[in-house]
Structure formats: C-alpha cells, structure tokens
Structure 1
Amino acid sequence: MIYRKARTNLSKTLSQIELDKATSDDYVKCILADPQIAAYIVQALVKEFNDMEIEDIIPCIGEATVTLSQPERLGVKISNVDNESIDEEDGKIIYDIKFPLYYNGKEKEFIINVEAQKSTKKSKLGYKLENRIAYYMGRMISAQKGTEFVNSNYDNRKSIYTIWICMDTKQKDDSIIEFGMKSNLLYGSIREIPQIDLINGALINIRTRETKNKNISKNKLIAMLEELFSRSELIDKKRTLEEEYGLKMSVELEGRMNEMCNVSDYWEEVALEEGKELGEEIGENKKLISMVIKKIKKNKSVNEISDDLEEKVDTILPIYKTALSMKPDYDVDKIYSALNLSLKQNKTT
C-alpha cells in the first residue's frame, strides 16, 4: 500500500480533538483500502466480478494509494506519488483511496476510487453530494489523457468507478445507488445502441450501529461494512467478521480497527447528531399536534383537518382521537406521550 500526505489545511496546527478526528478518518481509509474489504466492494459493484469469490478477486487488486491527513500519527512511511490530486485550491481533487483492478489477467483494467464520507447532507457540505460524485467521474476520465492514452486513442481509456461510502444513514435507509451513463434511442431503428459503460459511480449508504438491537442489512456488502464500523467490542466484531464474512484478521487490519475506535470521538458525534435529529422530529410532531388541537377547538372533522393541514387522514386520526380523549385539557406534551406509548405497545403486540 502506498501512503501520501494530503496538502490541505489539516497540515496546519490543529486542536487535539481535530487531530483525533483526522486520525480516525485516516484509519477508516486504511481499513477500506485493505484488499479483503476492497474485494467485497468490487464484487458488489463491478459486474465482471459479481460471480467471483472474494479470495479470487484479491489478486486482481493492484497496489492502492491512500491519502492521509496525519500519516505521522499512524506511523506509516510517506511516498511521493505523482498524482494529479495535490491541492484542491488549484482545481484538483484529492482521492481518499485509488487502486487499479485487473480482469482476466490484464485483459481489462479498471481504475477504482473509494471515498469515505461522514455526511451526505447539503446543509453540512454546502453542495449536493451527487454533483461532487459526477465531478469525480469526469475527472477520472479526463486525467487519463497523457497517462493511459495519447492523441486520439480514446479506445485505450480505462473504465472508472468512484465509490462513496456514507455513514450518516437513517435506520431504514441502508442502500446502494449506482450512477453512470445510459444510451437511449430517440429516433430511428438501429441493430445495436452504443453504450458508454466506462464511467461509473456508486453511493453506499451504511448505518452506524449500536451493539444492542442490531438491525442487520439484507445486503451482504452493507452488512459487512456496518459490522466493520459498528460499536461492537473488538473481540465480538472480529468473530463476526471472520465467521459471517470470511475475513482474515491480519495484524494490520485488526490494529487499524482497534485504533480507529480508540482515537476518536466519532461515535459521540454520531450520538449528538442522532439526538439532534430526534429532537427535531419530536418538535415537528408536537407542532402538528398543536395545529390539530386548534382545528378541533373550531369543531372541524378529521377529514377537514386533514385537508387543511395537507396531511393524510391516517396521520391525523390518532392525534384527533387522543386529543378528544383528554378534552377539555388539550395538553400537547400529554397527547404526544400517549401517542408515543400507544405506538410502542403496538410494536410489541
């Protein structure tokens, strides 16, 4: 594995908390670049490898280049790699992980980029993540001129995949989204429609997971990644990854996993974010209850309230019934608590 240092503001003096966060991010990158983890990602997303076993994919993966913010804290040797992604301020991009992938010997070669992304939210990023993914797809193609092909030898381009693993997914939203170019025939008839299948992207939404009440994804890749980055004790995590997913715990991989959990307050960040989202959800629910109460006081029916508030009758009806049961004491907090208790009881029956 080749390590290089990112030339960003992280090179400047940072607080201890910021250093720990940056170091934790570096450990995540090293874990994702492990050949076994990379093979799982390749198997799921690169169609040529869908039917291959993980152990057969690993030899097809070339040496990965990993860009680290604080490599000195990981104790790794830095290499000066000739890479176009040196400084974002120059209009260039910094890849987290990049490696060549070979199919059927070296008959076909792919260029794979894997990015670890904590958030997909525009409010945090300042842009839509899918637009950044599209930019990476374009840059990975344009960067090949002069390196993979010269002049007009466009047939020598290599297929690219930019794969983004996002870790702020809600409990029911684990998913994999593919991006690419699709050809459509707008007019006429033709025996075969040319396809541009060399440009590919994917967004993998994984959930952060507590050790209790595990909700295991039905998708094997997501389930493996969620276990890899879960809050489980290391000994339990190792056992699951070995027994359920066939991973071999090398000294390096096990060490990276352990240090990732020890060095950062990442999980506290997740807990705070989840608490914030929960608080916002509670606030919105109580606001709706308050509006329903106002309509009830005007003697409006369920259907009328539903129309006025542009909410489904099924949403309004339980609030309506619970509020009426407490008439004339329309206490928003009590109504919310009663509705919440009723929902929990329904889930257990």
Structure 2
Amino acid sequence: MNTELKNAVKAADLKAQYDARVKRLVGHKRVLAQILIKTVDEFKGMNPKTVANCIEGTPYISTVPVEPGLTNAVLDKNGQRIVGFNTESQEINEGLARFDIVFYVRTKDGLSQIIINVEAQKDEPGEYEILNRAIFYVSRLVSSQKERDFENSRYDDIKRVYSIWVCMNMDENTMSHIHLTKEDVIGSYEWKGNLDLINIVMIGLSRELPEHDETYELHRLLGALLSQELSVDEKLNIIGNEYNIPIEENMRKDVSAMCNLGEGIEEKGIAIGREKGRIEGRIEGEAGLILKMYKNGLSAEQIASATDKPLEEVKEIIAGI
C-alpha cells in the first residue's frame, strides 16, 4: 500500500472516530436541552436542567436504522409482544444509514411525547439537497410509529416529530423551521387533524463563532462544541461558564478526544497533500524529460525504450504538446 493510500485510510478512520465523538457530544442531555429550548415551542424559556429531565432514557446514538422495515424491532417480554426502536449492534446491519441521535421527550405537562431526531453535518452536501434528506428522515419517524406508538387505524395517536439538522461551515448563522401549513383554495372548511406533526429545523453554523447574545445563543454553544479551532480549555470554558452545563468526566473526555482527532485529521490531510504533490511533481518531471528527448530528435519508440515507459504513454505525452 503506497504512502498516499495509507494516509487516506488513516484519515478516513480518524474522521469516522471524529464523527462519532461529535454525535456523542451533541447527544449529551444538557446540550440536547439547549437545542430543544430554541427549536420546540413547548420548551422555550424553560430551565435547561428541567428540559434535560424531560428527555426519556438515554438517547440512541447511531444505532437506529433509517431504512424502512428496519427502524423497529419486535421484542418478547414475559410473553408480551413489544415493538420498540431497533437497537441491534451495528455489525448485524452493517452499512445501513442510521439516525445520528433519536429520542423521546415528554412535554412539560407530562401528558404527551415528542420524537426528536438530531443530525450533525460538517457542511451542506454536494451530492444531494439536504432538505430532501431531512424530509425523508422525518417521514420515516412518522411512518415507523405504526405498531410502535399506535396500532391499526388509530392515527390520532401519531406523535409529533422534529428532525433537527445542524450544518457546520456555513456562510452565516441561520435557523429555519419547515412545517405543514394549510392553504384554502376554494372555501374554508376546517379539516380535522394536526398540522404540527411534522417539523424540520435547519440550523446553519458559520465558520466564525458569534458573540453570546439571545439571538445566537444556541449557535455559539454548538459552534464552540464543534469547532476545530478552539482548544479543549476554551471549549470547556464556554460550555461550563456561559451555559452552566456540568463538565462531567465523560464530556471532558469527549471534548479532548474530538480535539485530538481533529488535529490528526488535519495532519493526515497535509501528509496526503504532500505525497500527492511529490507524485505529481515526479510525473511532471518525467513528462518534461520525455518532451525534451522528443525535441532533440528521438522517436517515441526510442524514448519508451530509454525511459522504460509504455509506448502509448509516451505517445500521449508527446501528443499533448
């Protein structure tokens, strides 16, 4: 395996570890509470600690498959059939797309639940439009409720769903709420049902960390948490002192590991660039030598013999003059 390929493999492994740490950091309940306060009406203005206590159980991080038919799993508990999220090990369904973070949160009145999905993206993808993916995810979280949260035709039991997307490295700090609305075309009949079942929130984080004010409060927290520029101490200072998030040992380890992995990815990227530059330089030098020999009167066959290059490759270089 050549050096460039080795570095690429190591960089990919570091990136996978880095992405896992990002999800773990965002998946801390006190961080999720801050996200809920800024995105879900029921929690706006509430104390983060109170909101964190509304999150049920431990959030599922990179365990629940997105694919239809695989999001749920049927369990047999004491002879009773129970349907829940599919949390089988990744080896069993290796290669499947999974929700970054998904969990249930109970509203402050304790009477109903909301399903929350949080996705972290290092930037806006180029191979597809991100809103289309968000629509697919939120639709899966609605349709997968059948048998898990409601049975048969009891559609009134469908729980509200939020799919919240955090996109890093954007040009500006933004937040958009995409949801269903009713537009009367003829008449104004009041159809029964809940328009608030489907919610998508897109959060754009700029490359520069904003000042701490009410408007960009969430953007500053997430920006600091996910920054590749800030040191471990700078991150922990913002998280702990500005947002009063308890810096527990597991969070400290995640922040430290993410910073170290970020540095490793950068170093491997530089190494890949250097190796690629060396290879390109060598190829360019060989091409220059072939052209010089050709201009001095040697035939393509003679050049191929002298340089141990395939004749077709020599002819291609000469044809490029």
Fold in common (TM above 0.5): yes
CA shift at 1:93, angstroms?
Answer: 4.2
Structure with higher helix content: 1
2:138 maps to 1:134 = no
Relative contact order higher in (CA < 8 Å, ≥ 6 apart)? 2
Q: Distance in 2 between matches of 1:194 and 1:148?
A: 17
Q: Within 5 Å, which residues of 2 pair with 1:160-199?
A: 160-170=161-171, 173-190=172-189, 195-199=194-198
Partner of 2:14: 20
Q: Distance in 1 between matches of 2:261 and 2:14?
A: 6
Q: 1:58 aligns with which of 52, 64, 82?
A: 52
Partner of 1:225: 222
Query: Contact (CA 8 Å) 2:17, 2:261: kept in 1 or not?
Result: yes
Letter in 1 for 2:41: K
**Distance change in 2, residues 1:169/1:267 (3 Å):** farther
**Distance change in 2, residues 1:185/1:93 (3 Å):** farther
- State the structure with more CA Rg: 2
2:206 maps to 1:207 = yes
Instruction: Name whichever of 149-158 and 102-111 sits farther off.
Output: 102-111
SS at structure 2 position matched to 1:179: strand
SS at structure 2 position matched to 1:107: coil
CA shift at 1:194, angstroms?
Answer: 5.3
Query: Contact (CA 8 Å) 1:87, 1:93: kept in 2 or not?
Result: no
Query: Contact (CA 8 Å) 1:183, 1:195: kept in 2 or not?
Result: no
Partner of 1:11: none
Partner of 1:327: none
SS at structure 2 position matched to 1:264: helix
Query: What CA RMSD, in Å, does the superposition of the two structures yield over aligned residues?
Result: 2.8
Query: Contact (CA 8 Å) 1:88, 1:94: kept in 2 or not?
Result: no
Letter in 2 for 1:223: R
CA shift at 1:47, angstroms?
Answer: 0.6
Deviating 4+ runs (over 6 angstroms): none
2:30 maps to 1:32 = no
Q: Distance in 2 between matches of 1:199 and 1:182?
A: 10
CA shift at 1:240, angstroms?
Answer: 2.1
Q: Distance in 2 between matches of 1:192 and 1:81?
A: 32
CA shift at 1:183, angstroms?
Answer: 1.2
Q: Distance in 2 between matches of 1:81 and 1:206?
A: 30
CA shift at 1:187, angstroms?
Answer: 2.0
Q: Distance in 2 between matches of 1:39 and 1:142?
A: 25
SS at structure 1 position matched to 2:62: strand
Partner of 2:236: 238
2:243 maps to 1:249 = no
CA shift at 1:136, angstroms?
Answer: 0.7
**Distance change in 2, residues 1:32/1:107 (3 Å):** same
**Distance change in 2, residues 1:23/1:37 (3 Å):** same
Letter in 2 for 1:30: R
Letter in 2 for 1:199: I
Q: 1:107 aligns with which of 100, 111, 117?
A: 111
2:95 maps to 1:96 = no
Letter in 1 for 2:59: A
Letter in 1 for 2:114: F
Query: Contact (CA 8 Å) 1:21, 1:265: kept in 2 or not?
Result: no
Q: Distance in 1 between matches of 2:101 and 2:253?
A: 19
Partner of 2:211: 216
CA shift at 1:105, angstroms?
Answer: 5.2
TM (normalized to structure 1)?
0.62
Partner of 1:5: none
Query: Contact (CA 8 Å) 1:166, 1:204: kept in 2 or not?
Result: yes
Q: Distance in 2 between matches of 1:266 and 1:190?
A: 60
CA shift at 1:236, angstroms?
Answer: 2.4
SS at structure 2 position matched to 1:48: helix
Q: Deviation digits for residues 58-89 of structure 1, max 9, x if unmatched? A: 10011201117xxxxxxxxxxx9625998597
Letter in 1 for 2:45: D
Query: Contact (CA 8 Å) 2:15, 2:265: kept in 1 or not?
Result: no
CA shift at 1:232, angstroms?
Answer: 1.8
Letter in 2 for 1:259: A
Partner of 1:149: 150
SS at structure 2 position matched to 1:17: helix
Query: Contact (CA 8 Å) 2:149, 2:158: kept in 1 or not?
Result: yes
**Distance change in 2, residues 1:34/1:180 (3 Å):** same
